[in-house]
Structure 1
């Protein structure tokens, strides 16, 4: 290849180390020692079953005998990979799957439930349930018949109070009105003020309106069930449950003095 000439026509001197391709390397820089970059990449990736070919790196699996398969049949690195590849042991633990006998498990559950049921006193539970149902039936029948006992039972049911309070409430009613839902007191201090006590529990109109159960507020003061709810709620609010349980207030001699 002819040398280049300078602008003056003289042949330009040839620079040492310059090749005809135009690439150059400084004279003072030594040539790299050891393996080239490509060789280093191949040596590194070969251990994990990878092949570096041109512009990409392909990962290839290692066979059980320790050799690696090539990315292409004519790969120039086949020999290097075959001699340097190693098998990577799996780090995942081996899990043993134990089959579950669902039928046997179901049988054990049935047996356990049967033992628990047998251990319980079912006769006692059934008897208690029967008593509760019988009491509900008795109260329903009493309410349906009406009368003083039926009115008291219905009022206690509406107030969500135990039916065991029935005797105490009945005692108060008999003392206050003798069981007459239309009884009116015309001689006490309330009557003199123009607000006589009325009904089974002998409440005055303002007390009745304030204490009657909300579900019965549209009923008149002489309605037996509504009147009982007003009298009971007034007594609980002012004297507490113990006075209601005792059947009203009494003096030191044990005589009823009203509420």
Structure 2
């Protein structure tokens, strides 16, 4: 059925300012109807739709969210109909009033990803530090000498290398760093069991406390002797005494163990 309009209505219609060619997306969305179905949003001409309003006049959430679906410039003819050619790009439907910012789920995912990246970086840094420490110990062991023997003994016992200075203090007090040192004058020597080696252990103590992996070594073997002396000291006096560099008298003087 034809629709007749009164001359006055037509006059009022054409009295409204016309939009320029290539009208703004906001104006086109207001002039055309927004139809949302599922995941697609398209624009269709509305019956007796008013002439598009300026972008600054658009304020309702439904119109504002519709603007995100337009991907081509829209042209309006003198009768208020769109004449643009092309296709509207499908977009995700946005509910009225929804914030145009990342949701809590997206932000949570970003935080999680950042946390994982931080942990990976920390693990990498830790691995690099451990590799550097191993390289340092390897170099000491390869060089040999007292520092190398101590480093190897601590590694065999799976003790931290930070104990090396304390162990060295004890060794220097007991044998001055001589792996073949034998005490021939103390009470043990008088009983026929002289203290021997870097940490001056007697044979029975050496056999009981030497690390199992070195049980076939002699009492004067540098690394084996250190493991026996350190393990005996920890078992008898505790790790704290070892960390302090051996036993001390009330006056602070070293006391043999």
Give the TM-score, by structure 1 length: 0.54
Higher mean alpha-carbon deviation, 187-196 vs 166-175, is at 187-196
2:210 maps to which residue?
Answer: 212
- State the SS of the aligned residue for 1:174: helix
**Residues 113 and 197 from structure 1, CA distance in 2 versus in 1: closer, same or farther, beyond 3 angstroms?**
farther
Alignment of 1:237-252 (within 5 A): 237-252=235-250
CA distance in 1 between counterparts of 2:109 and 2:228 reads: 50
CA distance in 1 between counterparts of 2:234 and 2:147 reads: 20
- How far is 1:192 from its partner? 1.3
Q: How many residues align?
A: 151
For CA contacts below 8 A with separation 6 or more, give which structure has more relative contact order.
Answer: 2
Alignment of 1:9-48 (within 5 A): none
CA distance in 2 between counterparts of 1:131 and 1:244 reads: 25
Hey, which of these two has a bigger chunk of helix by percent? 2
Of residues 102, 112, 116 in structure 2, which corresponds to 1:116?
A: 112
1:192 maps to which residue?
Answer: 190
Deviations 1:131-156 (A, max 9, x none): 11100111111111111111111111
**Residues 244 and 187 from structure 1, CA distance in 2 versus in 1: closer, same or farther, beyond 3 angstroms?**
same
1:179 maps to which residue?
Answer: 177
CA distance in 1 between counterparts of 2:184 and 2:121 reads: 57
- How far is 1:113 from its partner? 7.7
2:31 maps to which residue?
Answer: none
**Residues 112 and 143 from structure 1, CA distance in 2 versus in 1: closer, same or farther, beyond 3 angstroms?**
farther
CA distance in 2 between counterparts of 1:151 and 1:135 reads: 16
**Residues 175 and 127 from structure 1, CA distance in 2 versus in 1: closer, same or farther, beyond 3 angstroms?**
same
Give the TM-score, by structure 2 length: 0.55
Higher mean alpha-carbon deviation, 184-193 vs 124-133, is at 124-133
CA distance in 2 between counterparts of 1:113 and 1:254 reads: 59
Q: Cα RMSD (Å) of the superposition?
A: 2.2
Of residues 125, 128, 132 in structure 2, which corresponds to 1:127?
A: 125
**Residues 128 and 219 from structure 1, CA distance in 2 versus in 1: closer, same or farther, beyond 3 angstroms?**
same
CA distance in 2 between counterparts of 1:114 and 1:181 reads: 60
2:165 maps to which residue?
Answer: 167
Higher-Rg structure is: 1
CA distance in 2 between counterparts of 1:135 and 1:114 reads: 35
Deviations 1:100-145 (A, max 9, x none): xxxxxxxxxxx99876343342444432221111001111111111
- How far is 1:244 from its partner? 0.8
